[in-house]
Every structure is written in C-alpha cells, then in structure tokens.
Amino acid sequence: MEPVRTCVGCRARAPRSALLRVVRVDSSLIPDVRASMPGRGAWVHETSECMDAAIRRRAFVRALRASGPLDTQTLSEHLQRNG
C-alpha cells in the first residue's frame, strides 16, 4: 500500500506518487522530483492552483519551519516546464 500525504495547497490527501515533494535549500524552494533529498519536505499537487494557494497561505513557510520568506522562482520554473 502506497503512503498517503497531504497537499499543503488544497489540504487534500493523495498518494505520495500524485504529489511533488518540495524542500528548502537556504531560502529557496526546490522541487524534489525523486523525493530523496535530505531534510524536511512539504508535499503539493503539481498544479498552479495548489502551488499558488500554498504560497498565498504561507503553507510552505509553516510546513518547512522557515523563519522568513522563501524564494519561489525555482519552483515556478519547474511548474512552467512540467505543467
């Protein structure tokens, strides 16, 4: 049975394979496509609606326990390439 995770954007539960893991490297959000990077991760659907909701609600900051704003440029570029 596949593990279930919660999307930080829409708060819906989904199988791990249906979500994208995002990690924080310094103050940037980096997509972890293989879900193998070390550290704390946040899970999100790979849609612009869920990404925008997570950024607007500061869900990545809370989920990754960051103390300040996070740079979302790398994450946005990934979404544009794969979305």
Residues 38, 83: Cα–Cα separation, whole Å: 25
Average pLDDT, the chain: 95
* Beta strand ranges found along 3-80 (DSSP E): 4-6, 13-15, 20-25, 28-32, 41-44
Q: What is the model's pTM?
A: 0.93
pLDDT in tens, 21-61: 999 999 999 999 999 999 999 999 999 999 999 999 999 99
Residue 6: beta bridge partners?
A: 13
Q: What is the pLDDT of residue 82?
A: 85
Full set of structural domains in the chain with CATH: 4-82 (3.30.1230.10)
Share above pLDDT 70 across residues of the chain, in percent, rounded to a whole number:
99
Residues 60, 50: Cα–Cα separation, whole Å: 11
Asked if residue 54 lies in contact with residue 19, where contact means CB atoms within 8 angstroms, the answer is no
